[in-house]
Each structure stands twice: as C-alpha cells, then as structure tokens.
C-alpha cells in the first residue's frame, strides 16, 4: 500500500458465511456438536462424525472468500443476481451477523440502510422519529429542531411528517428512512437495494448526497441492480456469483463481467439460406478497427469492423447538431444462426446511458447468418444527441430477455467508437446532452 494512502475504513479478508440446513432445531444442535467434536476429537473419528453431521444438517455456503478494502472517499458497488450473496455480505458488513470464516476489521463510524424503515418506530409520527433519532445520534438538544427541519426538507413528505409512520406508503417510508441518515456524518455509509423504489427526483437527490459526502471523505458501499448507477457512482465494483466473488475492479468492467456470467443460453437453431445481398468491407478497411478491451460474448458471431459516416457513406466522426450520422457495423458468423439482433448504446464520458436500442425494438433482425458470410447493419440516427462527445457500445445478440435487450450476447464491445456533435455557431442553440426542441408560446392574458 502507498505510504500516503489513508488506512482502510473497512477491510474484509476471506469472509464467508455457512448455514446448516436443519428441519428441526434438535438436528441443528446435534450437527453442531458433532462438528465441534470432530474438530477436536480423535482423528480417526473425524470423517465419520462429519458424515453424521451432514446427514442431520447439511451445510449451505452462502458466501465464500470475499476480500476487499474501502478507504475514505472511495465507493464500492456490489452487484449480482438474486441469491448471489449480496444481502448476506451486507449483513456481515453492517454487523447484523458474524462471519463463519474470515475476518472483518472496521475503523471509524458507519451507518447502514439495509431495509425500508429500519430503526423507525411505526407508531411514532415522522417528526417524533426524527427527534428520537437525533437524540440517539448525539445531536445537542438545542440543535435538534434545526436538524429536524433540514431532514424534513430532504424527505419532502409534507404534512405526513405529523402522521404515524405505519400509515406511510413505501415511497414515503424510504424518503424518511434515507433522510434520517443525513443526521449522521458516518465515515462509511452502507446502502442496500432499498433506494430503487424512490422516484427519479429522489434518486437524483440521493445521488447528489452521495457525491457531496464522498467529496468530504465519506466512503460508500452500494448494492443495486441499477447497473448505470453503479457505473456512475462507484469507482470499483464487486461481482458476486453463487456466493463467490468473480470480479473486483473498475465498475464498467464489472458490469461487462456481470453480463457475461449471467447471460442466458439461447437454443436458437437455423435452417435455410440468407436472403441478404452480398456485402463487402470498404476498400482498405481494417478489421477490428477499435482499441477497446471491453468485450464479452460467446463469439458464434462477431463484429469485425465499425464505421461512422454521413448519409452518402463518407466516413465522418464529428457532426453538427442536426446532421444525420449513420453507424455502420460489419459482422461475420462462425456457425449458422437465426434471428440475430444488433445492439447499440450511446453514453456520455461518465458512463451515463443516453440512448439504447436493439434491432428487436426496431422490429428487424438478420433472418439467417451463414458461416463465413459478411453482414452489414446501418443504424441511422434521425434525431442527434446534444452537444458533446459520446461513446458507442455495440453488439450482436440472440433472444429477448423481455425488454428488447438480448438474452444471449454473441459479441458485445464497449467503447467500440466515439461520436461528436458540435454547435453550428459560436452560440449553441441549447445546452446539455439532448435536444428536446422546446417551443415557446406567449399569452398576453393568462386569466
């Protein structure tokens, strides 16, 4: 570790959690005693005792070999499918449970928001809960009223602050539960998936809260299924799969790894011949003309070349706002495939997704791909993004997971190309990453 790096606020070393699966409490007790005796008793009995213990209460490993450090100002995401071990890990980090194996070292103060309404008395009003939490948090008596006003403003639940918490909707309960945390100035904040139920405005407020506190040195551990949020808020991300860590590192790479390991396997088969006209690469075109290493997929078909051009086919990477770019992708198959879809995602330099579409959304696909034959897909952007530089992700996929995104990634490349839009005059016609073409209408008498 660098001598100037601050000490970790939290260090997990080979954390693990094992549960005995017993039908009756007596089975759990007997199995526990047998395992303890096997560990300390005669060596010749060990295997026999462990077999008897496993028959009484088999062991289930919910989490195994998880290690990481979190330092002041750092943010760590935790992603994985349901049952991957995320909740178990956070309960260990929050001190709700003790690990079966490994060690956990903490330094400084921490706060955890693991479920809706945690720490709130359902029979108290929102304001009474705030006053109680302020007292428990050590806020001086003379400052409690001021702090409560700040928290009420953050929660934005209006007159419901005077009603019992048990009458709150899920959204209001979340707002109050999160707003209570603004009382605290923890060194480490641990947040579970609960934030996903908030509306977009509250989520934006929470995002600003996190960023401001991290700038002041607070560390964050965030669990969510919202992968763009992970890439936007978290410097590093831990990917869990079946209770084991499979990746820890850059959040964009972690999201790609998550997609790779969780992609569903397609059973698509093909018969028949393609109906497309023959395609050839442009003269002198280089294969794999990108430098990105962010690639996933099973590779039964691959992207081999990308070009950005105007509608006449002339290569061009920079456009004026209002001009129409054409994103041109070339692909080749290694085996027969049916109904292959192209995928496109446009994002800003911070990883925020601005637009994503597949040819399934556009009600189109390649009916048949034959091995060794070249195919081309042109995606024309009739409505350009706003002023700025944008990153293109593209891919090939099979199936539909339910929202138009592919079930199975054949080949996906993150950062395959860049696209820029500039203002046509020194004074831009609008600001921001999107142009909604606002119109103004005046009325002399609004009465």
pLDDT tens per residue, range 404-421: 888 899 999 998 998 888
Residue 378 token pair = 């042109």
Concatenated DSSP letters of 27-54: HHHHHHHHHHHHHHS-GGGHHHHHHHHH
279-323: pLDDT as tens digits:
777 777 778 888 887 899 999 999 999 999 988 888 888 888 888
Q: Where in the chain is the domain with CATH 3.40.50.300?
A: 68-260
pLDDT at 273: 32
Percent of the chain with pLDDT over 90: 29
Contact 224, 87 (CB under 8 A): no
Average pLDDT over residues 77-103: 89
Average pLDDT over residues 4-19: 88
Is the pLDDT at 33 greater than 80? The verdict is: no
Residue 83: which residues within 8 A CB-CB, separation 6 or more? 242
CATH class name, domain 295-422: mainly beta
Q: Where in the chain is the domain with CATH 2.70.50.60?
A: 295-422
Is the pLDDT at 268 greater than 50? The verdict is: no
pLDDT band of 267, cuts 50, 70, 90: very low
Contact 238, 78 (CB under 8 A): yes
Residue 183 token pair = 């009382």
pLDDT at 263: 57
Average pLDDT over residues 370-391: 86
Question: Residue 17: is it exposed, middle or buried by C-beta count within 10 angstroms (0-12/13-18/19+)?
Answer: buried
Can you tell me whether residue 183 is helix, strand or coil?
A: helix
pLDDT band of 180, cuts 50, 70, 90: confident
Is the pLDDT at 116 greater than 80? The verdict is: no
298-336 in b/e form (b: 16+ CB < 10 A) is eebbbbbbbbbbeeeeeebeebebeeebbbbbbbbbeeb
pLDDT band of 4, cuts 50, 70, 90: low
Average pLDDT over residues 202-215: 84
**Residue in the block written with tokens 């023959």:** 278
Contact 88, 63 (CB under 8 A): yes
Is the pLDDT at 42 greater than 90? The verdict is: no
Can you tell me whether residue 227 is helix, strand or coil?
A: helix
Tell me the pLDDT of the chain averaged across its residues: 82
Greater confidence (157 vs 261) lies with 157
118-150: pLDDT as tens digits:
678 889 999 998 888 888 777 788 888 888 888
Of these ranges, 53-62, 136-145, 374-383, the one predicted with the greatest mean pLDDT is 374-383
The domain 68-260 having CATH identifier 3.40.50.300: the answer here is: yes
Percent of the chain with pLDDT over 70: 89
- Lowest mean pLDDT of 122-131, 173-182, 241-250, 391-400, name the range: 173-182
Is the pLDDT at 188 greater than 50? The verdict is: yes
Greater confidence (251 vs 45) lies with 251
pLDDT band of 58, cuts 50, 70, 90: confident
Contact 387, 421 (CB under 8 A): yes
Residue 97 token pair = 């449970």
């Amino acid at each position: 570790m660098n001598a100037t790096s601050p000490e970790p606020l939290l260090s997990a070393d080979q954390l693990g959690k094992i549960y005995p699966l017993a039908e009756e409490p007596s089975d759990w007790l007997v199995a526990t005693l047998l395992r303890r005796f096997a560990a300390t008793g005669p060596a010749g009995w060990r295997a026999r005792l462990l077999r008897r213990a496993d028959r009484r209460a088999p062991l289930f490993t919910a989490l195994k070999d998880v290690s990481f450090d979190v330092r002041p100002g750092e943010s760590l995401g935790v992603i994985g499918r349901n049952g991957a071990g995320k909740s178990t890990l956070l309960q260990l980090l929050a001190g709700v449970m003790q690990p079966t194996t490994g060690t956990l070292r903490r330094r400084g103060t921490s706060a955890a928001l693991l479920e809706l309404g945690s720490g709130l008395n359902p029979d108290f009003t929102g304001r009474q809960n705030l006053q109680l939490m302020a007292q428990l948090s050590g806020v001086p008596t003379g400052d409690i009223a001021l702090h409560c006003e700040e928290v009420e403003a953050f929660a934005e639940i209006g007159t419901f602050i005077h009603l019992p918490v048990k009458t709150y909707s899920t959204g209001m309960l979340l707002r109050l539960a999160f707003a209570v945390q603004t009382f605290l100035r923890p060194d480490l904040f641990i947040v579970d998936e609960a934030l996903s139920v908030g509306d977009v405005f509250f989520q934006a407020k929470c995002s600003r809260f996190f960023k401001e506190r991290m700038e002041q040195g607070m560390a964050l551990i965030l669990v969510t299924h919202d992968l763009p949020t992970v890439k936007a808020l978290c410097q590093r991300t831990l990917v869990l799969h079946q209770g084991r860590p499979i990746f820890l590192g850059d959040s964009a790479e972690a999201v790609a790894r998550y997609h790779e390991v969780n992609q569903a396997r397609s059973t698509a088969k093909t018969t028949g011949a393609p109906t497309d006209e023959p395609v050839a690469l442009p003269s002198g075109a280089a294969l794999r003309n990108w430098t990105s290493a962010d690639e996933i997929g099973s590779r039964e078909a691959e992207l081999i070349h990308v070009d950005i051009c105007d509608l006449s086919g002339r290569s061009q990477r920079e456009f004026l706002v209002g001009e129409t770019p054409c994103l041109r992708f070339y692909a080749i198959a290694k085996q027969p495939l049916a109904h292959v879809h192209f995928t496109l995602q446009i994002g800003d330099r911070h990883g925020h997704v601005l637009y994503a579409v597949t040819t399934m959304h556009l009600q189109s696909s390649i009916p048949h791909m034959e091995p060794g034959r070249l195919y081309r897909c042109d995606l024309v952007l009739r409505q350009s993004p706003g002023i700025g530089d944008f990153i293109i992700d593209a891919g090939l996929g099979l199936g539909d997971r339910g929202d138009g995104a592919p079930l199975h990634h054949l080949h996906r490349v993150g950062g395959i190309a860049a696209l820029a839009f500039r203002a046509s005059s020194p004074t831009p016609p609008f600001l921001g990453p999107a142009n909604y073409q606002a119109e103004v209408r005046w009325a002399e008498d609004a009465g």
